[in-house]
Amino acid sequence: MWVCLCEQINDEALADSYAQGLKTVKQLKQAKHLGSTCGKCIRLAKQKLDQLDSSF
């Protein structure tokens, strides 16, 4: 599933980034440009990060 369609970031890419230490939307925005085009993915990205936080 796409998390950020504009920047082509899917669930798997988000989980990989999370595992590499990008654990906040701000960090993902700076490093991967998530949310920097239309911004519609921010809410979903936060939900996905919360899920990843609770799974560790």
Q: Interface with ligand FES by CB under 6 A: which residues?
A: 4-7, 34-41
SS3 per-residue string spanning the chain: CEEECCCCEEHHHHHHHHHCCCCCHHHHHHHHCCCCCCCCCHHHHHHHHHHHHHCC
Residue 42 CB, nearest approach to ligand FES (Å)? 7
Residue 45 CB, nearest approach to ligand FES (Å)? 8
Residue 56 CB, nearest approach to ligand FES (Å)? 24
Closest CB to ligand FES among residues 22, 41: 41
